[in-house]
Amino acid sequence: MTNKTTYFFAAIFLYSHILAAQNADDSGLQTQFTFVDISANVDTLTSIEGGVAGSAWGDFNNDGYQDLYLATKGLNLLYRNNSDGTFTDVTNASGMQDTSKSKAGTWGDFNNDGLLDLYVSNNAGHPNRLYRNDGGGNFTDIAVSAGVNDSSFAQGVAWADYDADSDLDFCLIQDDIEDRLFRNDGNGIFTDVAPSFGMDSPWAAYGISWLDFNNDNHLDLYVTNCETRVGDFWTNLLYRNNGDGSFTNVSSDTGLDYFGASQGAFAFDFGNDFDIDILVVNSDGGDSFLLYENSDGAFTEISAQAGLVNVGVLFSVTSGDYDNDGDLDLLVGGLQNASRLFQNQGDGRFEDVSEQIELPMPDDPLFSSVTSADINNDGFLDLLMADERSRAFLFRNQPPNSIAGNHWLIVKLKGVQNNSFGIGAKITAIAQDLRQFRYVVAGSGLYSENMLPVHFGFANRNVVDSLIVLWPNNLADTLYNVAVNQIIEIEEGGLLTDVPDVEVADTPKSFELAQNYPNPFNASTTIQYRLSENALVSLSIYNLIGERIRQYRIGTRTPGDHTLSWNGKTDDGREMPSGIYFYKLTVGQLAQTRKMILSR
Q: Are residues 414 and 397 in the same domain?
A: no
Number of domains in the chain: 3
Find the CATH number of the domain harbouring 591: 2.60.40.4070
- Residue 238 belongs to some domain of the structure: no
- Residue 365 belongs to some domain of the structure: yes
Q: Are 546 and 466 in contact (CB under 8 A)?
A: yes
pLDDT tens for the chain, 600 residues long, are: 333 332 232 233 332 222 222 222 333 334 467 888 999 999 999 999 889 999 999 999 999 999 999 999 999 999 999 999 999 999 999 999 999 999 999 999 999 999 999 999 998 889 999 999 999 999 999 999 999 999 888 899 999 999 999 999 999 998 878 899 999 999 999 999 999 988 877 778 889 999 999 988 899 999 998 865 454 447 899 999 999 989 999 999 999 988 878 999 999 999 999 899 999 999 886 789 999 999 888 999 999 999 999 999 999 999 999 999 999 999 999 998 899 999 999 999 999 877 655 666 777 899 999 999 999 999 999 999 999 999 999 999 998 888 999 999 999 999 999 999 999 999 999 999 999 999 999 999 999 999 999 999 999 999 999 899 999 988 888 888 899 999 999 999 865 333 223 333 333 457 889 999 998 888 889 999 999 989 899 999 998 877 889 999 898 888 988 989 999 999 888 999 888 899 999 998 788 889 898 877
pTM comes to: 0.81
- Residue 222 belongs to some domain of the structure: no
Q: Are residues 377 and 457 in the same domain?
A: no
Domain final position from 349, 376, 403: 403
Distance CA 373, CA 359 (A): 19
Q: Are 316 and 367 in contact (CB under 8 A)?
A: yes
Q: Are residues 416 and 395 in the same domain?
A: no
Q: Are residues 373 and 391 in the same domain?
A: yes
Give the Cβ contact number of residue 299 at 10 Å.
20
* Beta strand pairing call for 298-301 and 289-295: antiparallel
Q: Are residues 294 and 387 in the same domain?
A: yes
Single-letter residue type at 506: D
Distance CA 215, CA 277 (A): 12
Q: Are residues 347 and 359 in the same domain?
A: yes
Domain final position from 403, 425, 452: 403
Distance CA 57, CA 35 (A): 18
- Residue 78 belongs to some domain of the structure: no
Q: Are residues 455 and 433 in the same domain?
A: yes
Find the CATH number of the domain harbouring 451: 2.60.40
- Give the torsion sign (CA, 426, 194, 448, 133): positive
Residue-range definition of the domain harbouring residue 414: 407-491
Residue 272 makes CB contacts below 8 A (sequence gap 6+) with 326, 327, 434, 435, 436
Q: Are residues 397 and 423 in the same domain?
A: no
- Residue 312 belongs to some domain of the structure: yes
- Residue 233 belongs to some domain of the structure: no
Q: Are 383 and 319 in contact (CB under 8 A)?
A: no
**Torsion angle in degrees (nearest 10) through CA of 565, 570, 573, 576:** -90
Q: With CA atoms as reference, report the closest residue to 467 among 530, 536, 413.
A: 413
- Residue 439 belongs to some domain of the structure: yes
Q: Are residues 415 and 486 in the same domain?
A: yes
- Residue 182 belongs to some domain of the structure: no
Domain final position from 340, 374, 403: 403
- Give the torsion sign (CA, 280, 327, 156, 369): positive
Q: Are residues 302 and 371 in the same domain?
A: yes
* Beta strand pairing call for 350-352 and 367-373: unpaired
Residue 438 makes CB contacts below 8 A (sequence gap 6+) with 269, 426, 427, 454, 455, 456
pLDDT number for residue 550: 93
Q: Are residues 482 and 548 in the same domain?
A: no
Q: Are residues 334 and 358 in the same domain?
A: yes
